[in-house]
A and B are shown apart, each in its own frame.
Chain A
Amino acid sequence: MSGEALAAFELQFTELRRRRRLTTALGLSLFLALLLASAAIGNFSPAALVDGAPKLGEYVERTLPTLRWTSLGADLTYWFYGLRKWLELLLETVLMAYLATLMGSLGALLLCFYGASNLSPNAWSYQLARRVAEFFRTIPDLVFALIFVFAFGLGPLPGILAIALHSLGANGKLFAEANENIDMAPVDGLRAAGANWVQTMRFAVLPQVLPNYASYVLWRFEINVRTAAVMGFVGAGGIGMELITAARSLYYEDISAILILIVITVSLIDIGCEKLRHAWIGREALE
């Protein structure tokens, strides 16, 4: 290699490295500025965190019951004294999530063909479907619930409607994206055979995307169980009501008991959905 080429390479390399370092330095200083600004706005300092940690420990300690080996059974019964009521409310929570997922997904099913750029009848319907889904997805479900509680009254119904609307937005987007990735040959074939738009969607698109939909619906159900568990915070049904009452009235041991039940329920639902998903995919692969 000639000395000239080497020098040129060196020059280029130094230049490139200089530019890289400049970008990194700029990024880091921007990041630091944002961090300092956030700390100032949020009244946050590491000291506050260090200060808060022991208070948290104290709180957690207070929520834990006294369990003795000698009277474990009696202590557990005392701790979970409300088990019947709580299990009933957990069932309500899961059923709320079920109904909301079902309603939201049916709505998404209506929306998703319009929201797919390759299937939508025209640009207007595409934009409209996408914007509707975006709106319902961006407003948090708890905000919908907060408003619906005034319109429909307290109880699970406003909670279900709120979760359903949010699911409609979230699944509408996912379904539409699945639709955009299909093989278009069956669509062309059916169109050529004279099928109308609805028939084309039913017989050319749906069979291709149904497994994707099923997996999205299961996933949404898992999320919705978690959401349904907090709907009670605004009076919209489920176990959340019991939890926020316990927290507000300082029934410390109830908090830990209910939390444990929620974690168990959520984990069981997750495991169940995982099994169902595998069973579904396994069967598809076998056929």
Chain B
Amino acid sequence: MIAPAAAVDAGRIAAARERLPRAFGRPLGERLWIWSGWLAFALMTSYCLWRFEFSPYRLWTGLGELGVIVAQMFPPSPGDAPREIFWALLETLAMAFLGTILAAIVSIPLAFLAAKNTFPFRLPRFGVRRVLDCLRGVDQLIWALIFVRAVGLGPLAGIMAIFISDTGTLSKLFSESVENIEKKPAEGVRAAGADPIQTLRFGILPQVLPMFLSSTLYIFESNVRSATILGIVGAGGIGFQLSDRIRAHNWEEACFILIVILVAVTGIDWASKQLRMWLIGQRS
């Protein structure tokens, strides 16, 4: 029975508050915790803003400068050497492609070594995983910096940087696919009298291959994006052209290169997505 509204007087509210205090708000201790959380957040943020000199004046003048730069970017122009720019774009795509392929090839055996169900020895597996973590933990650009110093300027350094850092990423992705496989097809094939190679080919490979291909394509997309900046440290590709133009304040050509990058990255993303959908759709 619901009491009519008129019957809700102060006494009833007090009684309800007595019975169900949490329905009327959090207790003081809890509220203090929440407030101190917000206070810490506000203090930390203002400390950061102060430390990094975020003053309205600096932002305003900076935005003004930025406006001047953006104004100088238009109209975008390919400059004297459009061929050079397109060649650099092709070089970037080639770097991403080769680096990804190399990483994928090396990652297949590593993935089986890092997966629980295919490599049951705990200690070596732990070692393999930590090494992969280290490869992944260092940014691709840092690898590029190191490789440029080791093997010299040019696309080789970029290819090696992509290769090394994505061996870490791909091995992890691959080993997760391997850990998720179904045992039954392999058992079935073996029960039908297959030898180990045939078991691998007909029992395991059909399960992991589409996943491997799809992860590789995904990483390739991400590598096309990151390969565009490897040139900033001298590792070849269109990033070198771009940073060269920006450092020379050649904003019209820089803008043209940016547009080329945008179009290329969007195009590759689209094509790779179609291919991925087709690969996964076809097998399942």
Contacts and interface: CB of A to CB of B under 8 A. Distances in A.
Interface of A: 34-35, 37-39, 41-44, 48-49, 52, 55-56, 58-60, 92, 95-96, 98-99, 102, 134-135, 138-140, 142-143, 146-148, 150-153, 155-158, 160, 226-227, 229-230, 233-234, 237, 243-244, 247, 255, 259, 262-263, 266-267
Contacts of A52: 147, 150-151, 156, 160
B200 interface: no
B262 A147 contact: no
Interface in B33-92: 44-45, 48-49, 51-54, 58-59, 62-63, 65-66, 69, 87, 90-91
Contacts of A157: 52-54, 58, 62
A148 B63 CA distance: 9
A43 B160 CA distance: 13
B273 to A, nearest CB: 14
Interface string B140-170: 0110011101110011100110000000000
A263 B246 contact: no
Contacts of B63: 151
Nearest to B101: A35
Contacts, number: 154
B94 A267 contact: no
Given A59-B146, A140-B228, A243-B142, A38 B97 contact: yes
A137 B11 CA distance: 58
B178 interface: no
B45 to A, nearest CB: 7
A221 to B, nearest CB: 13
Given A157-B52, A227-B139, A230-B141, A146 B66 contact: no
Contact of B225 (A140, A147, A152, A156): A140
16 contacts: A35-B98, A35-B101, A41-B94, A42-B94, A43-B156, A44-B94, A49-B160, A52-B156, A98-B44, A98-B48, A138-B266, A152-B59, A157-B58, A229-B139, A233-B145, A263-B137
B53 to A, nearest CB: 6
B221 to A, nearest CB: 11
Interface stretch (B1-9, B120-128, B187-195, B229-237): B229-237
Q: Is the interface of A mostly helix, strand, loop or mixed?
A: helix
B205 interface: no
B243 to A, nearest CB: 6
A152 B65 CA distance: 8
B186 interface: no
A146 B243 contact: yes
A238 B61 CA distance: 23
B176 interface: no
B133 A44 contact: no
Nearest to B44: A98
A48 B139 contact: no
A247 B48 contact: no
Given A143-B242, A152-B62, A38 B149 contact: no
A146 B232 contact: yes
Contacts of A259: 138, 142
Nearest to B262: A138
Nearest to B243: A146
10 A-B pairs with least C-beta separation: A38-B94, A152-B62, A59-B150, A151-B66, A42-B94, A151-B65, A41-B94, A52-B151, A42-B155, A99-B48
A68 B149 CA distance: 27
B95 interface: yes
